[in-house]
Amino acid sequence: MLPEVHCQKYRQFQQVVEELLALASETEGDSKTLKVKVLEMQQLFQEQILGLGIDDLDPSVASCVQSYQTEMHKQQRLLGNEVLFLQTCQQPQTRARRLAQIRERLEALSRYLVVVLGEASQEDARRSPPGH
């Protein structure tokens, strides 16, 4: 079970990811804005999510959370690379392909967050008596 403070931080991070996904979907590749927002998202992840600590969690939950944190970190690094490549794109087709890849990475991050937050909810449900 994730403590409420963890859930709040993950929800906050999830909101940033969703805002960035909307930005990547609405714009035609404003790479400067995307770069700034991705850097802000990465900083938030480093400070807020990785700073939470998982030592106090149930070992099975901690293992799951750590696995998802690793995958989220990887997606963010790849996302940063995609944004850098977007900045150098000259051809509209290449820009469109890069933007699609950026959206895919953000959607993956969003799915990971849903799972982590869902695990917290499922764990809460398992611990509470039926009918409550």
Q: Quick check: is 131 in a domain?
A: no
> Cα–Cα distance between 32 and 23 in angstroms, integer?
12
Q: How many domains would you assign to the chain?
A: 1
- pLDDT, one tens digit per residue, over 6-27 is 899 999 999 999 999 999 888 6
Q: Among residues of the chain, what percentage have pLDDT more than 90?
A: 53
Question: At 104, which CATH number?
Answer: 1.20.120
Q: What local confidence, expressed as pLDDT, does residue 89 receive?
A: 87
Half-sphere CA count of 96, side-chain side, radius 13 A: 3
Q: Which domain holds residue 61?
A: 4-118
In a domain, 124, yes or no: no
| pLDDT (tens digit per residue) in 76-99 | 999 999 999 998 988 989 989 999
Is the pLDDT reported for residue 124 higher than 70?
Answer: no
